[in-house]
Chains A and B, each alone.
Chain A
Amino acid sequence: MYLNLLAIDLFLLAEKAVLILIVISVSLLVAMYETWGERKVAAFMQDRRGPNRAGPGGLFQPLADGLKLFAKEEIIPTSSNRLLFILGPGLAMLTAMMTSAVVPWSSHFNMFGRHVSMQIADVNIGILYIFGVVSMGVYGVMIGGWASNNKFSLLAAVRGASQIISYELAMGLSIISLLMVTGSLSLRTIVEQQHIGHYYILLQPLGFLIFLVCSFAECNRTPFDLSEADNELNMGFHLEYSSMKLGFYLFSEYVNVFISSAVMATLYFGGFDIPFVNSTWLADHWGQNALAGLQIVSFFVKIVAFIFFFMWVRWTIPRFRYDQLMNLGWKIMIPLALINMVVTGFIVLLHLYGWR
């Protein structure tokens, strides 16, 4: 009754609760199978078999891994800061899971006589929200690395923090030029603008490249995996972690990869738009629900393609050295993003004043 007074629709609450549950479990499921996929891709590249014992094609391997991580002894070093030591992986996981809130997974379903939106929250500052949450992710690395009270972890934490902060700048600048084109910060609007193949990769190729490189850096993936460089820093910031706390760090990396892929697909590759298909026609002939379902499939195909790209790169090229990483970030990425921004602004202005 009070809820009615507050003008909150109970059904909406239930709908969103279910959606949140689904999105989070799907993220975790995808992250789980990313670990399997990573091992399979690596095996494919290195002429090996990869996991093939647990279940058909090793499909149950992630379950076994998870079980193992849960069953392992949990060690908290006596010289560590206990509270922060536990907070680190928690923060990493939290921020990784939160990002998915603004990603539109599909257009709406018509269910129970309502439009059920496939987006947890269509906030009008969607991109800013993603930036805000992702930049919180650095605390997971920093706090975990610092609380371990280990020199290797500390070095990794410093590396990780400076890397993520520098690349976030370039990432933000590359997004600004995209925003000049879209004129909106809402991810749903951006996706809707890209219907039938007018993908922003065509208008912002350089911006996309910068965004791509920066998301590698944000996810701590090769060639930017300096903070967990196993041959230099013994796995870096999660050196002292064991059991599921280690699992949280590893998992959050894969969730991040999943979300980054989703964001890249959304911003530059039309999001849930089905390429070469007129969605209005499809909705008229097959029904809105079929369209929404197919859009989810289309979106996931794009995401999986990006995830594969992440893995492909990881198993192909070496990692940067710290100073080269900084040089690339500050002396190449940021100037390029600035140039991209100026050029885009110039062209947008020309269009505004009627130049064809």
Chain B
Amino acid sequence: MSTEQHIKLPEGSIEKTTTTLNMGPTHPATHGVFQNILELDGERIVSAEQTVGYIHRAFEKLAERRPLYQITTLTDRLNYCSSPINNMGWHLTCEKLLGVKTPKRVDYLRIIIMELSRISDHLICNSVVGVDSGAFTGFLYVMQYRELIYEIYEEVCGSRLTTNMGRIGGFERDFTNTAFEKLEKFLAEYPAVLKEFENLFTRNRIFMERTIGAGPISAERALNYGFTGPNLRAAGVDYDVRVHQPYSSYEDFEFDIPVGSTGDCYDRFLVRNNEMWQSLRIIEQAYRKVQEFKGAEATVFHADAPDYYLPEKKDVYTKMEALIYHFKIVMGETEIPSGEVYNAVEGGNGELGFYLISDGGRTPYRLHFRRPCFIYYQAYSELTKGAMLSDAVIVMSSLNLIAGEMDA
């Protein structure tokens, strides 16, 4: 007869005074699917462990079997709050590898779209910080103005969320007049709304108490982790890819880089809000520049890159050369030059990098996405250590952790 029948508890489980709480993978505050395993002492977080990979879709591997133009759709699904920036970033990378020079008008149109998506990204992030601190109104109130941005996307490329916008060398078609009218409408209506949104939050006593000092990070730690974008700027480092390595003619524009000091949630919120104002400035300048083009230049919307840019449909039906190019591009049979490029754009979340290695052939040999969210998420346990449970939520949303970008 055995006396070993009693329940065996794990070592030390009786003496354990903390509790483990799984925040995620499906939790209203994890915007997407990821898991934080929190060790709680009452409401206080003793330690937090991050888990990624719940929606890993192997984009980098998929990209190895696809011609360049089909990879654009993969980039849509990284940070889906600002997919046009991802699209443009990918096109710029391809152009860098292929040596395609884009006309100025294309650059400016791209900047309009990229800054619009930066606004939509920051708008969602900041209003979600509001939601996660309990103020729901700001979120739904600004939704309809994001809608105006989405209508512009719709007019330019036909879709709203996963845009697959543009082609290597430019846009698939020129902006219509309706698109410009909608842009004007947005530029006229949005500043008042952003002002109202700021009034609702920036000096709100409860919001300030909730966010000031929540999840702070010093500039040094942020740099060590590899922070970029608004989260790094909130910590006080004025690093912005648009200025340090201008792409798509950003050097032609006049704008400021807002910088915070403590790197806490409140600073991140303020930096994002200010960036929206700067984006508005850039869009206005770009729109003016686009209007200034005269003659043939005023209708240019793509570079002359016949190997990669689909010819017009009527040429395909009437001209031999165009038909051949069309066939080669669609079937993905264009050989790409071998080489190695790294190209980064200032994404909605920070430096969105594309590291592309090609050994010739039709597809990349290796493609790596530098996804800023993935890098921010490393710091999560450090940012929430010793904080309250409510802080864990607000830190998550103010870092703008988007599962799509985190997992790729």
Residue contact A317 to B136, C-beta cutoff 8 Å: no
Question: Once the chains are docked, how many angstroms separate the CA of A247 from the CA of B335?
Answer: 64
Question: Chain B residue with minimal CB distance to A46?
Answer: B140
Contact segment of B155-163, B206-214, B375-383: B206-214
Question: Once the chains are docked, how many angstroms separate the CA of A319 from the CA of B137?
Answer: 13
Question: Once the chains are docked, how many angstroms separate the CA of A323 from the CA of B137?
Answer: 24
Q: Which residues of A contact B144 (CB under 8 A)?
A: 47
Residue contact B132 to A231, C-beta cutoff 8 Å: yes
Q: Mark B113-151, 1 if CB is under 8 A from A, else 0.
A: 000000000000000001111111100110010000000
Q: Mark A128-159, 1 if CB is under 8 A from B, else 0.
A: 00000000000000000000000110010001
Question: Chain B residue with minimal CB distance to A226?
Answer: B390
Residue contact A234 to B134, C-beta cutoff 8 Å: no
Contacting residue for A324 out of B27, B141, B209, CB 8 A = B209
Question: Chain A residue with minimal CB distance to B19?
Answer: A151
- Number of residues in A with C-beta < 8 Å to the partner? 27
Contacting residue for A322 out of B27, B28, B131, B390, CB 8 A = B390
Is A320 an interface residue, CB under 8 A from the partner?
yes
Q: A155-B43, A229-B390 are in contact. Are A319 and B133 (CB under 8 A)?
A: yes
Question: Once the chains are docked, how many angstroms separate the CA of A171 from the CA of B131?
Answer: 29
Residue contact A231 to B29, C-beta cutoff 8 Å: yes
Q: Which residues of B contact A230 (CB under 8 A)?
A: 28
Residue contact B137 to A315, C-beta cutoff 8 Å: yes
Is B70 an interface residue, CB under 8 A from the partner?
no
Q: Which residues of A contact B389 (CB under 8 A)?
A: 155, 232, 322
Residue contact B393 to A232, C-beta cutoff 8 Å: yes
Is B245 an interface residue, CB under 8 A from the partner?
no
Shortest C-beta distance, B94 to chain A (Å), equals 40
Contacting residue for B134 out of A48, A151, A155, A225, CB 8 A = A225
- CB-CB contacts below 8 Å: A296-326 with B: 315-324
Is B51 an interface residue, CB under 8 A from the partner?
no
Is B176 an interface residue, CB under 8 A from the partner?
no
Question: Once the chains are docked, how many angstroms separate the CA of A220 from the CA of B4?
Answer: 50
Shortest C-beta distance, B45 to chain A (Å), equals 12
Question: Once the chains are docked, how many angstroms separate the CA of A240 from the CA of B57?
Answer: 32
- CB-CB contacts below 8 Å: B191-236 with A: 200, 204, 206-207, 209-210
Question: Once the chains are docked, how many angstroms separate the CA of A159 from the CA of B43?
Answer: 9
Is B21 an interface residue, CB under 8 A from the partner?
yes
Residue contact B137 to A45, C-beta cutoff 8 Å: yes
Q: Which residues of A contact B390 (CB under 8 A)?
A: 229, 232, 321-322
Q: Which residues of A contact B200 (CB under 8 A)?
A: 316
Question: Once the chains are docked, how many angstroms separate the CA of A321 from the CA of B21?
Answer: 18
Is A223 an interface residue, CB under 8 A from the partner?
yes
Is B241 an interface residue, CB under 8 A from the partner?
no
Is B391 an interface residue, CB under 8 A from the partner?
yes
Is B388 an interface residue, CB under 8 A from the partner?
yes
Residue contact B135 to A316, C-beta cutoff 8 Å: yes
Contacting residue for A42 out of B21, B131, B137, B207, CB 8 A = B137
- CB-CB contacts below 8 Å: A143-200 with B: 151-152, 155, 159
27 cross-chain CB contacts under 8 A: A42-B137, A46-B136, A46-B137, A46-B141, A47-B140, A151-B19, A155-B21, A155-B43, A159-B43, A222-B134, A231-B28, A231-B29, A231-B131, A231-B134, A232-B29, A234-B27, A316-B135, A316-B200, A317-B204, A317-B207, A318-B134, A318-B135, A319-B134, A320-B206, A321-B210, A322-B389, A322-B390
Residues of A that sit less than 8 Å from B by CB: 42, 45-48, 151-152, 155, 159, 222-223, 225, 229-232, 234, 315-324
Residues of B that sit less than 8 Å from A by CB: 19, 21, 27-29, 43, 130-137, 140-141, 144, 200, 204, 206-207, 209-210, 388-391, 393
- New A-B pairs, 9, CB < 8 Å, besides A318-B133, A322-B388: A45-B137, A225-B134, A229-B134, A231-B134, A232-B390, A317-B134, A317-B135, A320-B209, A322-B43
Question: When A and B form their complex, which 10 residue pairs have the shortest distance between CB atoms, in order from nearest?
Answer: A319-B134, A318-B133, A46-B140, A318-B135, A318-B134, A321-B390, A231-B29, A231-B132, A315-B137, A322-B43
